[in-house]
Structure 1
Amino acid sequence: MIGIRTLLITLLLPGVILLLVIDSWNDYRTLAAITNEAYDSALLEPARVLESSIEFTDDGTLAVTTPVYAQVVLESKAGLRKYFRIEEIDPPMPEGATSVPGTGRTLAGMPELPRPPTWPTSGGAPIFFNSVYRDDPVRVVAVARDLYYRGQHRQVLVLVAESIGRRLLAEGAARRQELLRDARMLALVAILVWWGVAWSLRPLTRLRNDIRTRSPDDMTSLDASRVPSEVVPLVEAVNYHIERHRRVLDEQSHFLADASHQLRTPLAIMLTQAQYALREPDHNRAQEGLRAIVDQLGRTRRLTEQLLSLAHASQNEAPTRQLLDLSEVARNVVLQYLPLSHEKHQDLGWVAANVADVAAGMPSASEAIEGSGVTAVIGESALLTLPVLGSEAELHEALANLLHNAIHYAPVGARITVAAAVVGDRAEVSVSDNGPGIDAASRGRAFARFDRLGPGRPSISSGSGLGLSIARAYARRNDGDIMLRDGEPNAQGGVGLAAVLWLPLAMPRGIEAGSSHGTVT
């Protein structure tokens, strides 16, 4: 794209030039009219003198008594040649006539002087016209006069002409002055426009230099107070992008710091255990050390998998979504973790959603799918208890982390219930237990990475503190979230913890009340 300076000058200068041309043309026409009017007034003066110098003689004929003043006025000068003629029109032209009669009797002057194109009125109004006399362009004025004496009616035509050389010189000088003035004005406008645009763009130049001179790790916001108001939205958008990039970098830095710290400890422990097993002469005790290394490797593997999951969940790109049944995803997670809960002798239960609540008030499939970005056809027999738009793998991972946390932190013999439900326009899956729980004031910290909360919860030191962070990251990538609530009452007189995953309902058609409702234990 062309630069702003070039664009503004390209847009402004043609308009300024056009206005100057129009203004110059109007000024030239006005000046030419004034010049012609002044010269015509000077040309009319000898014609009036000649008109008044015509008199009747005693025998009733017409005679011209030219005064000295008229003779002086009619004298030719350098560059201004003058001609005149006085003729008697016989018979006189009637009132209102416009055609020019034939040549009358010349009383004085040049007989070949051009005649007017139309007949002047007898009231004395002059007629000015341009013509050529003896190869000399001239300006001519014609005046007609009626004379009466002792019942006699006579009519005369007075013609006075002068060369237009001086008129042309005056108009040429005026034209040159006008062009020179317009050229100066155009040059001044071009300089002012160039300087004004350059001055207006100086804040952008400073902004560019400020960005170029920054160090790569400088994530401070740009100063929007030093740029024009039209550029402030752009600077604010750049600042918003810088802030987002800074948050991403901060999260990555914290993640790398936390991950390196969390991985360094188990590696150091395993190194110590391996060295102990190598030095131990007793075979049985060496085997115990190796088993401890295997256990530590299992926990480290779990930690590494969670770190990879958290890194994937923290990515900014949107997941590939499809229409799926959140209730079915939750049921598969429950079936997957049944063996792990049985190892701890825990009662893991599954409560499906009431399909009648889901089906109430839902729109048709075309209404639900239109505008959702999902390419699918849902038949009338399709059965989706909790229809949502999301990534099945990510939602499965989120629910798996919630259920793994509940099994891990709940004591032996605890009761864990996974329930699906519809709340308003949202699909919810809750994982509730009757373990030690987390007090309400500390639940906000539970989503922090590597933060193991919950006084009195067993085996806290063996956890990584990443389960809730991973679950929330995956939920938010799918337009949902994770909430913590009070769980079921426990033996200590308190309540356990309930982690709830919610997503917006996609609301497809084809749900039939009374199906898929029950409990799996």
Structure 2
Amino acid sequence: MVPQPQPAANSPATAAEQQQQQPSPRPQRFGIRARLLALLLPGLVLLLALDSWSDYRALTDSLVVAYDQSLLEPVQALANGIVVASDGSVRVQEPFSIQAMFESTRLRYKYLHVGVQRIPKGGTLDVNSPETTLMGVPGLPRPAHRPPDGTPVFYDAVYQQHPVRVAALRQTVYDNVHPGEAYSVLIQAAEGTGPRTEAQAETLRQEFLRDTRMVVVMALLVWLGVAWTLRPLERLRRSLRERPRDDLTPLDASGVPHEVAPLVDAVNHHIAGHRRMVAEQSQFLADASHQLRTPLSILSIQAGYAVRETDPARMRESLQAIVVQLARTRRLSEQLLALAHATAGDEAAPAGAAVADLNAIARGVVLQYLPLARENDQDLGWVDARGDIGTDDAEGSDESSDDDEDDTPVLPVAANAAELHEVLANLVHNAIKYTPRGGNITVTVRRDATHALADVCDSGPGIAPERRESVFERFNRDSATGTAAAQGAGLGLTIARGYARRNGGEIELSNADTPERPNGGGLRATLRLPLHAS
């Protein structure tokens, strides 16, 4: 069969030009450093803020306790110095020394107050009863609630338009000279809250500075760590920019982080595939040039001979030889184009959503090659996937084919029908070419659990098992028979396997085991394709 040339739009050169014309993808706006910082810094700042707030509260409570304890000391000292004199008056022992100790620190707004109220005999203390100030300033704010005797209380208040912290202690003293007489003494010490506020503000400022330093150091470590980690990739980038365009050696993955090593391995795998493709294309061009050079040389010699010939009969013979040689050269060129298309791109490229009937395609190939088989005195038989057996008699075959056109596909496969036709045409053509006159060729279509199969069996000389894989190589001619069949280009099986693999299938070679040679002989070429999941 003469393969049809593919449109120029599908050629590798045009695809490469289209790919070069496409705009390169824009780099992402945010790099690894920015992403890591955006991921780590908010969480770090939140954790530091919570930790700092907890530390600030703990330090603030410690400061309050310390300042309250220092404020309570003069109150307790004054409480220990409260006595009732023999004349029934309440007095404070050594008040000046206590007051001097209290005012020794250089703090503003420090106040002491000792007030006494008389408790009626057999009664209770009236909070509104007059109070006598024994020492200190009068009018310090009193506690909101009367505390139990001997229990100090602390509260915030405002005195003379200044915020103060007050420690208060109330106790009851009894007159031993005049039984029944009792006095309630309220002792207070107050100081401005300025030092406390400044200490708390300083604590907060230190916490903020510490956290800021921590965040800056963390961001710097992330920045430097990413830069240090990416240095091997930067080295790879420089090496790629500096290497020649035709240098397809693998990338050096030494020193690359193990997280990035799979990426480098994938790039090396792609480079290796590209290197193989370039090598195959170079070999293909070299082989094609070699294959075309011989027939062109023959044509040149024949044309020169025809030009020099004066005898019309011999000139006609030369022209006839030129026509034959041109036909061979044309088929060789068409096979080269088909081979280029069959092996373009990934061999296992998906065939798409098209569904083809392998049974119908195989039957069409048999009908196509019946005339050639008859010309060679060969019996070309056909076994339908449904069990129908046909012969090389074409009568009735076209009618049955027309009857089945509207039926559901017998063996549906997800493949390109034209490419499957090319595969089977090459297999049948090879069988006709290598089978001697009077031989038998049978095309059988069958199925197993998961695959559709098309067998092309012939009674020819066959191929030795050790040579069956090599016959799929380009320009490999099977000259074992010594017949004229070996004069082909050696591309038929290569093209057939290329198209088969493009559609997810494979071609296998084995002994035919024909009736004439039950113990092995001839060749069985099997096309195996996955069944379409309906």
- Range into which the TM-score falls when normalised by the shorter chain: 0.7 to 0.9
CA contact (8 A) 2:351 2:414 kept: no
Give the partner amino acid of 2:145. Answer: T
Query: Is 1:83 matched up with 2:115?
Result: no
Superposed CA deviations along residues 219-261 of structure 1, whole A, max 9, x for unmatched, are 2333444322322332233233333333322322222221111
Q: How far apart are 1:12 and its partner, in Å?
A: 2.1
328, 332, 335: which one pairs with 2:360?
328
**Aligned ranges 1:421-500 → 2 under 5 Å:** 421-487=446-512, 488=514, 495-500=521-526
CA contact (8 A) 2:78 2:98 kept: yes
**Inter-CA distance 264–96: structure 2 relative to 1 (3 Å threshold):** farther
- CA distance in structure 2 between the partners assigned to 1:186 and 1:421 by the alignment: 72
Deviates more, 1:59-68 or 1:342-351: 59-68
Give the partner amino acid of 2:374. Answer: H
Give the partner amino acid of 2:138. Answer: P
CA contact (8 A) 2:351 2:504 kept: no
CA contact (8 A) 1:442 1:453 kept: no
CA contact (8 A) 2:113 2:189 kept: yes
Give the partner amino acid of 1:402. Answer: L
**Inter-CA distance 162–384: structure 2 relative to 1 (3 Å threshold):** closer
Residue matched to 1:348: 380
Query: Is 1:187 matched up with 2:219?
Result: no
- CA distance in structure 1 between the partners assigned to 2:446 and 2:223 by the alignment: 68
Q: How far apart are 1:395 and its partner, in Å?
A: 0.7
**Aligned ranges 1:280-319 → 2 under 5 Å:** 280-316=309-345, 318-319=350-351
Superposed CA deviations along residues 135-177 of structure 1, whole A, max 9, x for unmatched, are 2322110001122343433221101112223333333433343
Q: How far apart are 1:207 and its partner, in Å?
A: 2.7
Deviates more, 1:448-457 or 1:71-80: 71-80
Count matched residues. 483
Give the partner amino acid of 1:387. Answer: P
Query: Is 1:399 matched up with 2:431?
Result: no
149, 156, 168: which one pairs with 1:142?
168
193, 210, 213: which one pairs with 2:242?
213
6, 30, 35: which one pairs with 2:58?
30
Q: How far apart are 1:390 and its partner, in Å?
A: 1.7
**Inter-CA distance 211–295: structure 2 relative to 1 (3 Å threshold):** same
CA contact (8 A) 1:92 1:155 kept: no
Superposed CA deviations along residues 335-360 of structure 1, whole A, max 9, x for unmatched, are 1111112222222222222359xxxx
Give the partner amino acid of 2:54. Answer: N
Query: Is 1:104 matched up with 2:131?
Result: yes
CA contact (8 A) 1:355 1:385 kept: no
Residue matched to 1:361: none
Structure 2, unpaired ranges of 5+: 1-27, 389-403
Q: How far apart are 1:76 and its partner, in Å?
A: 5.9
338, 361, 380: which one pairs with 2:370?
338
Coordinate RMSD, CA, aligned? 2.9
**Inter-CA distance 102–504: structure 2 relative to 1 (3 Å threshold):** farther
Q: How far apart are 1:497 and its partner, in Å?
A: 1.4
Residue matched to 2:229: 200
Give the partner amino acid of 1:89. Answer: Q
Q: How far apart are 1:68 and its partner, in Å?
A: 4.9
246, 251, 260: which one pairs with 2:275?
246
- CA distance in structure 2 between the partners assigned to 1:96 and 1:486 by the alignment: 126
**Inter-CA distance 452–246: structure 2 relative to 1 (3 Å threshold):** same
Q: How far apart are 1:96 and its partner, in Å?
A: 13
* SS in structure 1 at match of 2:457: strand
Query: Is 1:16 matched up with 2:44?
Result: yes
Deviates more, 1:18-27 or 1:293-302: 18-27
Q: How far apart are 1:184 and its partner, in Å?
A: 3.0
Q: How far apart are 1:70 and its partner, in Å?
A: 0.8
- CA distance in structure 2 between the partners assigned to 1:457 and 1:502 by the alignment: 30
CA contact (8 A) 2:115 2:135 kept: yes
- CA distance in structure 1 between the partners assigned to 2:231 and 2:124 by the alignment: 74
**Aligned ranges 1:59-78 → 2 under 5 Å:** 59-75=87-103, 77-78=105-106
Superposed CA deviations along residues 420-460 of structure 1, whole A, max 9, x for unmatched, are 22234322221111112111111111111100124124114
**Inter-CA distance 282–489: structure 2 relative to 1 (3 Å threshold):** farther
Residue matched to 1:228: 257
* SS in structure 2 at match of 1:140: strand
Residue matched to 1:279: 308
Q: How far apart are 1:86 and its partner, in Å?
A: 1.1
Structure 1, unpaired ranges of 5+: 357-378, 509-521
CA contact (8 A) 2:427 2:496 kept: yes
- CA distance in structure 2 between the partners assigned to 1:303 and 1:440 by the alignment: 28
Q: How far apart are 1:101 and its partner, in Å?
A: 5.5
Q: How far apart are 1:22 and its partner, in Å?
A: 3.0
TM-score by length of 1: 0.85
146, 152, 157: which one pairs with 1:119?
146
- CA distance in structure 1 between the partners assigned to 2:268 and 2:186 by the alignment: 89
Deviates more, 1:383-392 or 1:108-117: 383-392
Q: How far apart are 1:399 and its partner, in Å?
A: 0.6
Deviates more, 1:389-398 or 1:243-252: 243-252
CA contact (8 A) 2:452 2:531 kept: yes
- CA distance in structure 2 between the partners assigned to 1:102 and 1:7 by the alignment: 73
**Inter-CA distance 109–502: structure 2 relative to 1 (3 Å threshold):** same
**Inter-CA distance 87–192: structure 2 relative to 1 (3 Å threshold):** same
Residue matched to 2:286: 257
Residue matched to 2:31: 3
Residue matched to 1:56: 84
Give the partner amino acid of 1:433. Answer: D
* SS in structure 2 at match of 1:339: helix
- CA distance in structure 2 between the partners assigned to 1:304 and 1:439 by the alignment: 29
Deviates more, 1:281-290 or 1:140-149: 281-290
- CA distance in structure 2 between the partners assigned to 1:165 and 1:119 by the alignment: 27
TM-score by length of 2: 0.83
